[in-house]
Amino acid sequence: MRRQPEQAQSARHAGPARPPRGGGRQGPVVAASGSIVTRRRRRIPLALLALFLLGSCAQVIAAQAAQRETVTFIFGADDETAHPLTALARTYYRDDPLERTDRVIADLGSLLEALHYLQNQPPANGQPWGIVNIVAHGNDTGILSVPLLRGGDPISPERLSQAIRDKVLSPLPQTILDEQSEIRLIGCALGRNTRLLRLMSQALGRHPGRRPLISSSFFYTSFESVSGHVFRCLARACSVSMRTSEHVDDPKVSQRVRSCVREIGTDVQAVSRRTRPRFMGDSYRHVAEGAFCWRAVFPAPTAPPRIETAYERHRWLSGDLDFHRYLAINRIPWEPDQWTVTPSTTTGQHRVESPCITVRGRVKKLFLVKPLVREDPSGAIVPLSPSWRDTSYYTTVR
């Protein structure tokens, strides 16, 4: 006689099988001999269950982040000496298949107005903002051509730091900007000034570990229209400072241009004549004009100097080392006859007013630009579009 399986024998002699401890279920299985055997169902290990649940949560969070609304703020008016930044940027962020945003705002006059918009016009889906683009002229010294207050001076690391101390800028709530939000500063070479980026993060985020990302590029940034399509272009560029009375064809300017073009590797004669690129990747020149403002503050008991006459103003400008340091950092030529020097007052910490002297003037620079391009699979030359996480092209701080 063939021996029955032990489990079948136990079932036959012991009577009905009792359910296992812990509430596990048993199910009947027919053995080869026709007798009924029972076996315990396999349990899912807790570790695998935990991994599954964590993975599901991560997918939900990623889906929520993907649904966040995006917005672009564009600052700066177009003029004859500048690229049509505002118009091209508006078209790009409305139409580009990869970087277009849900909203494009181009009628605000200050950073504070943009922050008020973020807080007072939040996304309809209840999520914090996702990507927030701020498009404006900038440079590697950290000057972003957006005033903190309408009609004020452009943002600089020093002004931003002072605004944080004076609580002119207050961090936005986590329901508006959080650690998954990203502020992209679209301005030339701002990524080289990490101090500006860190101050911007500090100004917008309340807690160090939950502040939004602040990103910007090392490179010159422009918007170009080719064959009816608008592209955001990164480029190598060098700049030549000019006196407000100088022209591009002046001999002294030409000498400075020759040393500049060696930095970007292009032909001097060709680039100095072209004001617009002929094709994608073509080098060209671009003249930009703007304003500068520098202020010296004299807290009590320090008394401000006398600047009532032209001689007194010139003597004070010539001897102020901080002002000369500012000119050197921003590569501003010495043109005291073209500047206005006025006494005024400013409000500092604890709302205390102090006398100050404000110097205002114009800045004129010649940029020589060589766009960064690549060849796509079809052989066409297109702008280089690296990921915003590529540290060879962008700086990202929190």
* Percent of the chain residues topping a pLDDT of 90: 37
Contacts (Cβ under 8 Å, ≥6 apart) of 355: 297, 298, 303, 304, 343, 344, 345
- 38 in Cβ contact with 17 (< 8 Å): yes
Please tell me the predicted confidence (pLDDT) of residue 4: 44
Average pLDDT over residues 69-83: 74
Task: Copy the structure tokens of residue 92.
Answer: 């790009």
Please tell me the predicted confidence (pLDDT) of residue 46: 56
Please tell me the predicted confidence (pLDDT) of residue 394: 95
Query: What amino acid is encoded at 294 in this protein?
Result: W
Please tell me the predicted confidence (pLDDT) of residue 111: 94
Average pLDDT over residues 46-58: 52
Average pLDDT over residues 276-295: 82
Average pLDDT over residues 345-369: 83
Question: Where does the pLDDT of residue 55 fall: very low under 50, low under 70, confident under 90, or very high at 90 and above?
Answer: low
Please tell me the predicted confidence (pLDDT) of residue 195: 93
* Percent of the chain residues topping a pLDDT of 70: 78
Annotated domain spans of the chain: 64-219+373-397, 236-370
Whether the predicted pLDDT of 34 surpasses 70: no
Please tell me the predicted confidence (pLDDT) of residue 254: 79
Average pLDDT over residues 182-198: 93
Whether the predicted pLDDT of 77 surpasses 90: no
Render pLDDT for 224-269 as a digit per residue (tens, 0 to 9).
Answer: 887 788 889 898 888 888 898 888 878 888 777 777 776 666 666 6
Render pLDDT for 120-175 as a digit per residue (tens, 0 to 9).
Answer: 999 999 999 999 999 998 888 888 889 898 888 889 898 899 888 888 888 899 99
Q: Which residue has the higher pLDDT, 19 or 123?
A: 123
Best-predicted range by mean pLDDT among 57-61, 266-270, 285-289? 285-289
Average pLDDT over residues 73-92: 75
Between 108-112, 166-170, 177-181, 194-198, the lowest mean confidence (pLDDT) is in 166-170
Whether the predicted pLDDT of 33 surpasses 50: no
- 114 in Cβ contact with 176 (< 8 Å): no
Whether the predicted pLDDT of 37 surpasses 60: no
d(CA 293, CA 327): 11
CA distance readout (Å), 393 to 92, 188, 207, 326, 385: 20, 12, 27, 27, 10
Please tell me the predicted confidence (pLDDT) of residue 8: 39
- 150 in Cβ contact with 113 (< 8 Å): yes
Render pLDDT for 292-333 as a digit per residue (tens, 0 to 9).
Answer: 888 898 988 888 999 999 999 999 999 999 999 989 988 899
Whether the predicted pLDDT of 65 surpasses 70: no
- Average pLDDT, rounded, for the chain: 80
Question: Where does the pLDDT of residue 44 fall: very low under 50, low under 70, confident under 90, or very high at 90 and above?
Answer: low
170: which strand partners?
none
Average pLDDT over residues 369-381: 88
Please tell me the predicted confidence (pLDDT) of residue 370: 85
Average pLDDT over residues 22-29: 46
Average pLDDT over residues 64-85: 72
Please tell me the predicted confidence (pLDDT) of residue 38: 43
Whether the predicted pLDDT of 340 surpasses 90: yes
Please tell me the predicted confidence (pLDDT) of residue 182: 96
Please tell me the predicted confidence (pLDDT) of residue 10: 40
